[in-house]
Amino acid sequence: MTEEVLEARPRRFRWENLTGGAVLFEEDGFRRLWLGRVLSHTALNAVLYTLLVLAVGEGSGSGVKSALFITAYLLPTATLGTISGVLVDRLPKNLVLAAVNLVRLGLMLVLLMIGSDLPQVYAVALLLAISSQVGSPAESAAVPQVVRTDQLTMANSTSNFGGLVSQVVGFAVLPPLFLNTVGPDPLFFIAAVLFGISAGFFILIRSLRTGPVSMDATVKAARNVRKQFAEGWERLSRDTPAYMSVIIFVLSSTSSLVAVTLMPRFAQNTLNIEVTNAIFVFLPAAIGIVAGLRLVPFLERWIAKQWLVGGGFILLVASMCCLALTVPFANVLEEMNPFGIFDPGPLGDTSARIMVTMVFSTAAAFSFSVVGVASRSLVNERLPLEFQGRVFAAQVVLTNLASIPPILLAGFLSEVFGVAPVMLLTMVILVIAAGWSLARALSRPQPLDDATTSRTAA
């Protein structure tokens, strides 16, 4: 009898060695959300990287071109950020996520029909940004509806592992394979298929269905969007740990976006490699991401999540500064000659720079992973469910709007002064912004209510 019961148990996905979250995959809702996100983000990453390569092209001015492309992708948040959060909180999230991916599928078909000349590249990037502005907060706010409260950290860690899978396949596998062989059009077709399948997974998540939708109430909320959005932000600002976790995540995301902007010029001028092959240099950073995902659930047993967020940010800044100093570090590594065996050293100029880049990009990926998991889990735990869509939308808005000036400046200034000074200046500005935000948060009168209790009651 016991053997029959054991045989009747459903098989588990064996992710224990990576995220420790295998038990979560026994839940249909989380499993479908995870699979839908992986497929959707894999397609989105592959398309965005391909469009970036098409936009940058060959020749000089790569920093400016990449800055303009990324700015075009981030710009829609200036007008759509507030309404997306309100809609996510009002509509069933499975319908929102399915609709977003069907729109993305349609955009891929448009690319296949009209081609991928530069104007079309920017137009599609703009429309993909609009879809992400709605999809990203819906994905984050959906997690507490498919897992228990005590599983939130593990769920976010496992979700971020899915993000790693989508990054590796979407950035390092699909674009180089297609761009170096058959071209971008077959890639756009595969992306369309992946978007369609992910929409199917999302629509089947029963726990995200919230019953009948009152369109009158939704339209009324959309008309009063500023008030609705302000209520969510005011609720966040009353909880200093959650507020600072959002701010730190925004600043961390800004640093990563600036790094992506500088990547084409960094690859060409510092590493002396082609832009299309740069992704292979940064691929080992996946090890840092996995380490961060695996360690956060372990570390939070002894360290409060807000300290994990802060410590992760400090390590991220230090790693980015070291990455900016790749050339001097590489010179030291190149000159190393243990026991006088080699003449000159065992590493050449380019190989030394690539090795230094791999080490510090892995450290940066680890710290960003820690910040992302701890920050999202902190918001999931401390804020009521009915506010989380607006809060995560606000996070996306702040990330993108705060990133646009540094991205544009980094793109233009890197053409004049180079990558290293621009990266170091960016890190100094972000540290100052973090300190100012913390001082401002601590100076506000703190309410005596318990945010966690209110979230549980909700």
Looking at the predicted structure, is the pLDDT value of residue 211 above 60?
no
For 91, the domain range is: 22-209+218-444
Instruction: Give per-residue pLDDT as tens, 117-126.
Output: 777 777 888 8
Cα 135 to the chain's mean position, in Å?
A: 12
**Residue 212 pLDDT grade (very low, low, confident, very high; cuts 50, 70, 90):** low
- CA separation (Å) from 280 to 172, 283, 310, 356, 400? 6, 5, 30, 14, 26
Average pLDDT score over residue span 266-285: 74
Cα 361 to the chain's mean position, in Å?
A: 15
pLDDT on residue 317: 92
DSSP labels for 67-115?
Answer: HHHHHHHHTTHHHHHHHHHHHHHHS-HHHHHHHHHHHHHHHHHHHHHH-
Task: Pick 171 or 340 by higher pLDDT.
Answer: 171
Instruction: Give per-residue pLDDT as tens, 288-308.
Output: 877 877 787 778 778 888 888
Instruction: Give per-residue pLDDT as tens, 339-376.
Output: 444 455 556 677 788 888 888 888 888 888 888 888 88
- CA separation (Å) from 318 to 145, 175, 411? 36, 30, 21
Average pLDDT score over residue span 313-333: 88
Looking at the predicted structure, is the pLDDT value of residue 196 above 90?
yes
Instruction: Count the Cβ atoms, other than its own, within 10 Å of residue 18.
Output: 17
450 domain residue, yes or no: no
DSSP labels for 150-219?
Answer: GGHHHHHHHHHHHHHHHHIIIIIIHHHHHHTTT-HHHHHHHHHHHHHHHHHHHHT-GGG--SS--HHHHH
**Residue 199 pLDDT grade (very low, low, confident, very high; cuts 50, 70, 90):** very high
CATH of the domain at 95: 1.20.1250.20
Looking at the predicted structure, is the pLDDT value of residue 3 above 80?
no
456 domain residue, yes or no: no
263 domain residue, yes or no: yes
pLDDT on residue 103: 93
15 domain residue, yes or no: no
Question: Tokens standing for 449?
Answer: 């209510």
Question: Tokens standing for 389?
Answer: 């869509």
13 domain residue, yes or no: no
Instruction: Give per-residue pLDDT as tens, 72-81.
Output: 777 666 556 5
User: How far apart are alpha carbons 103 and 137 in whole angstroms?
Assistant: 17
3 domain residue, yes or no: no
Considering its fold, how many domains does the chain have in total? 1
Looking at the predicted structure, is the pLDDT value of residue 422 above 70?
yes
248 domain residue, yes or no: yes
- CA separation (Å) from 136 to 216, 247, 326, 383? 25, 17, 33, 18
Task: Pick 253 or 192 by higher pLDDT.
Answer: 192
Looking at the predicted structure, is the pLDDT value of residue 223 above 60?
no
457 domain residue, yes or no: no
User: How far apart are alpha carbons 73 and 147 in whole angstroms?
Assistant: 32
Least confident among 240-254, 264-278, 311-325, 433-447: 264-278
